[in-house]
Structure 1
Amino acid sequence: MAQETDKILIRKFIAGNCTSQEQERMKIFMEQPGSQELFNQVMDEDWRAFKKEAPATDEYILSFQKRLNKRLDENCAKPSPVISRINFYKYAAVWTVLILGVATYGVWHTKKVAVGPETISMLSSHNPNGQRSTITLSDSSVVTLGAGSSISYPERFTGNTREISLQGEAFFEITKNPEKPFIVQTGDVQTKVLGTSFKIEAFKGQEIAVAVATGKVQVNRKIAGSGKSESLAVLLPGDAIGFNPVTGLATNSNIPAIELTGWKKGKLTFTGTSLSEMLKVLERWYNVKIELRNKQIGRYRMNIQLDGTRPLTQSLEILKATTKAGYIIKDKTVIIQ
């Protein structure tokens, strides 16, 4: 095959558009000396044409890598590293376009011009009970997402703000950008920052709580039926606010910053928290059901720190020593009596 014909075939192969006959030709071609160099040459040409475009997200990169590896395995009796793994991320933006089913950059560019401003995909991440995760956003901000929680965010931020939505709890470490405030939407409450670290709790049917570890945070609430908002508080390190969405009442308090950063590392601190409320946290954290047979002790106010990275039984033993209440574990149910 002539070199230009080979390049066309390589692009079709990566895009997944080869016919059965062309795939057979690719099997032979990839065994030939110089195939590695020609693959790299194709990537270099396409990269130069598109190096100014936005970088691909990790999700798209991982998806493409799996698909390409599968195609290489299916088409080569003895798979060889035709595309260098070292170069893989360098060309991620180019291959993201191919993942979306566009065979050539010319077609993609034409479509982009025809429809005007590009559409930004919305991504979401959900943790079931018993699972936590760390998410790096396109601006390098880091979100530690708690158990039983979810966030929705754009694949990259555009416009004059950086906005995401949260249900559940998360600790945020926001990259500073005075030109683009970072906004977290949680129901009727909006948390706005420029660059800081803070924690939000916003579980359905519960009070929304915002606490600041570093920097300054502005907390607003939407005014029903007006399309406007009003300020609830401006928080500094150690400040916290709780907002009841049912009554519309807000309460201020103080939380040591070390407690917030400790949560990120798995430390669960309870200060003046009722035992029944604390058990709800442990249910989410360990993905278990906890039945409190003695309702009276559920009103006990707890001042305690538990290590959420340790087995549940360790926390239960601490509670047993503190409240004098025994426990029984049956499958994924804990009975406290």
Structure 2
Amino acid sequence: MASDTTARPRASRDAGGVDGSAAAGPAPKTKAAPIRPSLRRARRRNLVAALAFLSPWIVGFLVFTLWPLIYSGYLSLTDYDVINDPSFVGLDNYAQLFADPKVALALGNTLFYAVLQIPAYVIVSLVLAVLLDRAGRASGFFRTVFFLPKMTPPVAIGVLFLLLFNGQNGLVNGALGLVGIDGPAWTTDPAWVKPGLILMSLWTVGSSVIILLAALRSVPEDVLEAARLDGANGLQVTWRVTVPLISPALFFIVIINTINALQTFDEVYTAFFGGGNTTYSNDAALFYVIYLFQQAFEFLHMGYASALAWLLFVIIMAITVVQFVVSRKVVYYEGGER
């Protein structure tokens, strides 16, 4: 019996060391199982099917987005009038941008419009979304009412602007006159042209209202109820609880509307530049994209217009980057991260 008891520890030491554990050393490497030919063929078929479904978008992106982007970059370095072949001029078009007073005027008008229009657009959208959220069964009807103006063609909105904001017999000044206010000359007074356009842009808040309404209805009810139990009134619940929780949707609307505001064209061109409209000075309504359009298709300065387009691209990109940096501190995402 003694020999048995002494033999076992010795055997353990021989097999695994002093404490009897398994011998230390690198684990044996296992070879990865080879992919079966049938599985490889299935993956290839799935890839081909995915590319087939994506091919319309891929072709459209390459032909109508990427290639025009590359070609406009080339044209911005040339003198090109559509009729004659492009002639390379280097950075002359970009140098001309900083010497052209119309560029500064158009860019100033556009930035002024964007700085005032974006907050007004977001605030009106949020207020309407909050009202819709409390409308109960009637919210479906009002969602349709608010969204229908978004379907209006931009050209029609430009014509409607002239009818509603006419300084002499427009509907807006007529309504102001009922309460004893003498309305301004919205379409002829340079000081009131852009404020009138900002008010007109609120006609199409419907899509943003729908997005914010969906965000409001995704806010947990127990969080709102907890705020009310803590003594918060309706305004405090909205501002301190609801708005932070829907801040990702608000941020999305700000980004999209910033890009749209900096590219404003259709309504303004229809109202102030369409059909040879030269009754009064249009400098107050000369937005950046309108000036770009004039250089490209009225004066046939395609090279210069391409340089204008690239400058706008850089401006929009810079503003968007700044907005994303700021959003890290003010946008609340689920999980508590900002």
TM-score (norm 1): 0.18
More strand by percentage: 1
* Greater helix content: 2
**RCO higher in 1 or 2 (8 Å CA, sep ≥ 6)?**
2
Larger radius of gyration, structure 1 or 2? 2
